[in-house]
Amino acid sequence: MANIELQVPLKTNSIFRLGSITKQFTATAIMMLAEQGKLSIDDDIHKYVADFPTEDQVVTIANLLSHTSGIANYTEDEHVWNKLIPTQTTLDDMLKEFAKHPMPLKTGEAMRYSNTGYVLLGKIIEVASKKYYADFIKQDIFAKLGMKNSHFGGTQLITNRANGYSRSEQSVVNADPINMMWPHAAGSLLSTVDDLNIWFTALRDGTLISKASYQKMITPFVLNDKSTSEYGYGLGMFKVNKYTAIGHGGGIHGFVTHAFYLPEEDLYVAVLNNSDSDGNPRDIALLLAAKALNLNIPEFKAITLAGHKIKTMMGTYQVSGESQRTLTFENNVVYSQRDDGRKWVIKPMSDNSFYYEGSLSYFTIDKNKQGKQVMNFYSDLSTEPSPAIKAD
């Protein structure tokens, strides 16, 4: 339902908040301005935001794009997230608030997600283009591509806008209020599945930026120690089965989203959800890709397995150097727990395999050549498992 109270059904032209899918639009805007000679991604950000503190470190635009700036993430500040998010603000006032946060990392040390960094990119776009961020995105991207159902979020009336929902205990409720200035260039855009397809086709084909600039966006960033992250500029890289995927997810009050592109198959998948508590757009997107590519995936259908068989597979499995996954059988229910994390209900689907309810993750219990039990863990339609050997 686009509106539960009025019983208005969702349609493919229903307009959703995108959350952090916004970041690829922001990154593309930066690359457009770079191609126009109005900035360089190697510029020190103080050229555009002179007063923002970086603790005597040189932070470049490229560091903001790749989440390697070391700048804190304002959405981790409970005061901002719980108290200020619904209130009126301006971009400059937001940046003054964000400037209070100390930097948790050295610049270039690691990829650490920072919404603050992308709000700073929004300010840089405004300084370099001499346009408000919302106007630049509307005029130079949405209008140019014919994305008629895409908008910068706000209080304006938007035809076909879907309501956002959440869950309070067992009840569906309207999502908490948010002033969309706060997410700004990190998460304030709205769109439809069809407009997103227009968008990524244009990005892939070089309509807005050169293919060389797009290649920079989808190239993993090199860190100080010469290792690479799994993130470029506004886009992440990950595996879907045997394929390399390029994409991003998003989450914002009332909405969760996910979209990715598989270059090898020229396949784009976008899933938008107007609930931040129910459903899993990432898994749905993966299942849609599996359907489109005829990938074999388990049925994830529970079977009845004798208790004595289950008990032989219970115990602690060494996932990595210091991390373990423990399987327990309690009151005829099987649980999986990673270290001190949540205990997840798992269901047997064969004599030696279990799946996690509501996800695409599953594992098999096999014996290696030494006769030790091994948990082979599969996630996100992966073809190669992550093995964990049962502790003695």
Q: How much is the pLDDT for 2?
A: 98
The per-residue pLDDT for range 75-110, each reduced to its tens digit, is 999 999 999 999 999 999 999 999 999 999 999 999
Nearest to 271 by CA among 78, 16, 6, 7: 16
What value does the mean pLDDT take over residues 202-219? 96
Cβ neighbors of 253 (< 8 A, separation 6 or more) are: 17, 85, 164, 166, 175, 176, 177, 178, 276
Three-state DSSP class for 355? strand
CATH architecture of 16-293: 3-Layer(aba) Sandwich (3.40)
16-293 and 307-390: identical CATH topology:
no
Q: Which helix (DSSP H) or strand (DSSP E) does residue 271 occupy?
A: strand 267-273
Beta carbons of 266 and 251 less than 8 angstroms apart? no
Question: pLDDT, tens digit, for every residue of 96-155?
Answer: 999 999 999 999 999 999 999 999 999 999 999 999 999 999 999 999 999 999 999 999
Alpha carbons within 13 A on the beta-carbon side of 94: 28
Residue 392 has pLDDT above 80, yes or no: no
Question: Which residue in this structure is represented by tokens 């191609």?
Answer: 35
> Quick count: other Cβ atoms within 10 Å of Cβ 12?
9
Q: What is the mean pLDDT of residues 43-69?
A: 97
Exposure letters 85-108 (e unless 16+ CB within 10 A, then b): beeeeebeebbebbeebebebebb
**Mean pLDDT, range 287-311, rounded to an integer:** 93
The topology (CATH level 3) of 307-390 is Lipocalin (2.40.128)
Q: Tell me: the pLDDT tens digits for 223-269?
A: 999 999 999 999 999 999 999 999 999 999 999 999 999 999 999 99
pLDDT of residue 356: 92
Q: How many whole angstroms from its chain centre is CA 253?
A: 14
Region 362-389 average pLDDT = 92
Structure confidence at residue 297 (pLDDT): 86
Q: Is the pLDDT of residue 41 over 80?
A: yes
Whole-prediction pTM:
0.92
Domain boundaries along the sequence of the chain: 16-293, 307-390
pLDDT at 363: 96
How many Å apart are CA 113 and CA 37, to the nearest integer? 28
pLDDT at 381 over 90: no
| Nearest CA among 132, 134, 118 for reference residue 61 | 118
Question: What percent of the chain is modeled with pLDDT above 70?
Answer: 100
Long-range own/partner contacts, residues 177-181 (CB < 8 A, 24 or more apart): 177/85, 177/86, 177/253, 178/85, 178/86, 178/252, 178/253, 179/85, 179/86, 179/87, 179/88, 179/89, 180/152, 180/153, 180/154, 181/88, 181/89, 181/90, 181/91, 181/94, 181/154
Contact status, residue 210 vs residue 218, Cβ threshold 8 Å: no
Quickly state the pLDDT bin for 43 (edges 50, 70, 90): very high
3-state secondary structure of 22: helix
